Amino acid sequence: MMSTRIPIRTELAPAAIGPYSQGIEVEGRRLVFVSGQVPVDPATQKLVDGGVTAQAEQVMKNIGAVLEAAGMGYADVVKATIFLTDLGEFKTVNEIYGRFFEADPPARATVQVSALPLGAAVEIECVAVG
């Protein structure tokens, strides 16, 4: 069953400056809260090598796996939060993140934090509606 996601757009708030929506209205459905995913390869249970680019790719794959296990996909995500240890990496992570949301990306926040589990550079959590 496909969730009803209605992008909220208004000129009375700043326009989205990346792959996210200002807000998302959701018809009453099942909610899935995806815990913060760090760039751990599920096969090795170790942090992936390759810097923030490889880490962001792995985080998004991990999110996809959790969503699939819940019978959902990226199109069901209505809110995401990105945690970065270096906001200077925002552009790189933003580009990778954006590839996973083809249309009407979810509402999103991005924050810089002092540290993440296992020494990761990026962590992402999200909420999906199905």
The domain locations on the chain are: 5-129
- Name the pTM for this structure: 0.84
- Residue 77 gets the label, from left (phi > 0), alpha (psi -120 to 50) or beta, of beta
**Cβ atoms of residues 124 and 108 within 8 Å:** no
**H helices of 1-130, where?**
51-69, 90-98
pLDDT for the residue numbered 22: 64
* Cα–Cα nearest to 8, from 82, 104, 125: 104
Tell me the average confidence (pLDDT) per consecutive run of 10 residues in the chain, 130 residues long: 68 71 66 90 90 96 90 93 98 97 93 96 93
What fold, for 5-129? Answer: 60s Ribosomal Protein L30; Chain: A; (3.30.1330)
